[in-house]
Amino acid sequence: MSNAIQPAGDHEVFEEPVPPMQQLLDNPFLLLFIGIAVPTVLYIVLGVMEIVAIPIAK
C-alpha cells in the first residue's frame, strides 16, 4: 500500500518503501489471479490435455 492512501493524522515517521513481496501479499486480486491461474493450468488444463490425447479404441 502506498503512503498516499494512509489516513491523514497517522504520524508517519519513516517513508520506507513497501517491499515487493508485501505489495503482492497486500493485493487480494493479484492473489486471486494467481490462485486461479496456477491450478487451472497445471492441474485442469494439463490433466485434460493428457486425457484428450489418449487414442480412441477402434
Partner 1 sequence: MAVNRMFRTCPASGLVFHEPAENLMKANAVAAAVSLLVGGILAIGVTLTRWQAVHMLPPDSFYLFLTAHGLNMLVFWIIFFEMAILYFTSSTLLKCRLAAPGIGWVAFWMMVVGALMNNYAVFRGDSSVMFTAYAPMGAHPTFYLGLILFAVGALISCFVFFATLVVAKSEKTYNGSVPLVTFGAITAAIIAVFTIASGAIILVPTFLWSVGFIDHIDSLVYRTVFWAFGHSSQQINVSAHVAVWYAIAAIVFGAKPLSEKVSRTAFFLYICFLQLASAHHLLADPGLTSNWKIFNTSYAMYLAVLASMVHGLTVPGSIEVAQRQKGYTNGLFEWLRKAPWGNPAFSGMFLSLIGFGFLGGISGVMMGTEQLNLLIHNTLYVPGHFHATVVVGTTLAFMSLTYFLIPVLFRRQMMFAGMAPWQPYVFGLGMMGVSLFLMGAGTLGVPRRHWDIAFAGNPLPYEFPGSAWLMMALAGISSIFAFVGGAMYLAITVGSVFFGKKIETPGFKEISAQQGMVGRPQPAAAPADTTVIAGHQGGVGAGGMCMVAPGTFVLAIVFLVSFVLYYFINWKYLSTVWPLR
The residues binding partner 1 (CB under 8 A) are 1, 5-7, 10, 21-22, 24-26, 28-29, 31-32, 34-36, 38-40, 42-44, 46-48, 50-51, 54
- Helix (H), strand (E), coil (C) string for 5-58: HCCCCCCCCCCCCCCHHHHHHCCHHHHHHHHHHHHHHHHHHHHHHHHHCCCCCC
**Shortest distance (Å) from residue 24 CB to partner 1:** 8
* Locus of grid cell 500500500: 1
**Shortest distance (Å) from residue 45 CB to partner 1:** 10
**Shortest distance (Å) from residue 15 CB to partner 1:** 14
